[in-house]
Structures are given as C-alpha cells and as structure tokens.
Amino acid sequence: MANLKEIRNRITSIGSTMQITSAMKMVSAAKLKKAQDAITAMRPYSSKLTELLQNLSATLDGNAGGNYSTQREVSKVLFVVVTSNRGLCGGFNSSITKEVVRTVAEKYADKTVELFTIGKKGNATLGKTFKVVDSRDDIFENLNFESVAEIATQLMELYIDGSYDKIELVYNRFKNAATQIPQVEQFLPIKPVEEGTTVANSDYIFEPSKEEIVLALIPKSLKTQLYKSIRDSFAAEHGARMTAMHKATDNAKDLRDDLLLTYNKARQAAITNEILEIVGGAEALNN
C-alpha cells in the first residue's frame, strides 16, 4: 500500500484535475447555448430552401440543375470531413473517423478517395490513411457564412471541372448535449427528386423563369447546406465536450473519495500501531 504522503499527493492532484474539468465543462456549456441557438434557427431555413429547390426542379427537365446535377460515372470521390481542432470531447472525432472508413469500405472500396478536412483532428488521424488535398483548420476561429461560402465555391469548382465525380459531406449532427449522430450527405451532384415523392403543386407566376431561379438557387443552397453541416458539427462538439468533462469530473470525484477512504484507513492503522507501540513500551518499563 502507498504511504500517507503518496496518497495525499494523489488526492491533491485529482482535486486539481477536478477543477480543470469542471471549468472546461462550464465553458463548453456557455458556448453550447450560443451554438445550439444558431443551428436551431438555421435548420428551418435550410430545409425550406431545399424543399423549394426540389419543388422547382421537379417541374423542369431532368437536367434542370445544370452542371451541378450532372450524373457521372464515379471513379474519384472527395470526402469533406468535419471534425474539431481540439480534443477532450469523448468519441466526437473518433466516430467521424470510423464513419469515413466504414463508408469508403462499403461504397467506394474500388474508387479513388481523397479528403478535404475541416478541423485538425480529422487531418491528423485520417491523413495517415487517405490523401488530404486541402485542410481548413481556421474556419472555427471565426465561423460565419462568408468563410464557409468560400469553401463551398471551391468544392463546386472542383466538381464542375471534373476533378471529382462525387463529393460527400461527413459530420456530426447535433441532437442534444449527450447525443451526436454521424451523418454522410451527398453534396454534389445534386440528388434528383426521388420517384413517388409528393411535390407541392402551386399556381405561381415565376419572374424570371423557373430555370433561371433554379440555377440561381443551387449555389446558395449548396453553400447553406455546407454551412448548416459545419454549424451542426460545431454545436455537437461543444455538447460532446461538456458531456465528456461532466463525466470526467464525476469520475475524478469518485476516485478522490476512494483515495480519501484509503487515506483515512491507512492513517487510522498508523495511529493504532503507534498506540500499541507506546503501550508495549510502557508495559516493558513497568516489568
């Protein structure tokens, strides 16, 4: 058994760890509130924009989306992987890594797969297995629509010039503070409206034409889709970190309590031994 000094040092060390994890939990909780409000407010807009685009596209010819909806034989795929820049967030980043590896193995095992990473953790982990063509780790320092729109424009250009036949988004969707759901979404080409899908049929007058409206909406819809995905991941990251730090604080508290119990038992045993030694010495002097 460790001596009393070693146990005291461990108790002090664990107390310091508890203070750090508790502070990180509170910081993540404050950031989560702002990130959650942002993604909650954005989801209806993104959904409505996608619905509007689908309704218009369904009433036009199959190639209404122009170059963005051109279906090509898939031989080269780009994965846009959204992770975090920092760790200490539980399985947040590892779940994305596993999802990318699983998707590639199931759908693109015989294809050329390259990555565009957003976040340092995805680049550091997946870069050992796949080729990373570009990485944007600075996006979370000032997360706004303009900076994400630049990335979306870059991805659209890569698809239009034929560099890739398909682009997939992989990110964590925010459900609540304790739950993040790995998502794989097709970014390009634009998915056609599935057969059997009910499309709203309203008698509208379009100015300019439907075709021009669709072609103008597509880039905006793609930028919004990417921005929503990164916003989702951003909120999920803070939720995962808050939960992880909460569990770490609880585990540290349990460990500290166990060590305190061990310390008190060892201290009591030491005192008992000292008393026995004193009594034994007194008896020896009397004899």
Residue 117, SS3 per DSSP: strand
Cβ pair 90, 240 in contact under 8 A: yes
Phi, psi torsion values for 218, nearest 5 degrees: -60, -55
Pairing of strands 166-176, 179-188: antiparallel
Pick the closest to residue 245 from 26, 79, 2 (CA basis). Answer: 26
Cβ pair 138, 123 in contact under 8 A: no
d(CA 211, CA 59): 10
Cβ pair 44, 180 in contact under 8 A: no
Residue 78, SS3 per DSSP: strand
**Annotated catalytic residue, options 7, 39, 53, 89:** 89
**Three-class HEC string of 188-240:** ECCCCCCCCCCCCCCCCCCCCCHHHHHHHHHHHHHHHHHHHHHHHHHHHHHHH
89 is catalytic: yes
Pick the closest to residue 153 from 136, 174, 177, 172 (CA basis). Answer: 136
Question: Which residues, 6+ apart, have CB-to-CB distance to 266 below 8 Å?
Answer: 1, 3, 4, 7
Catalytic residue annotation: 89
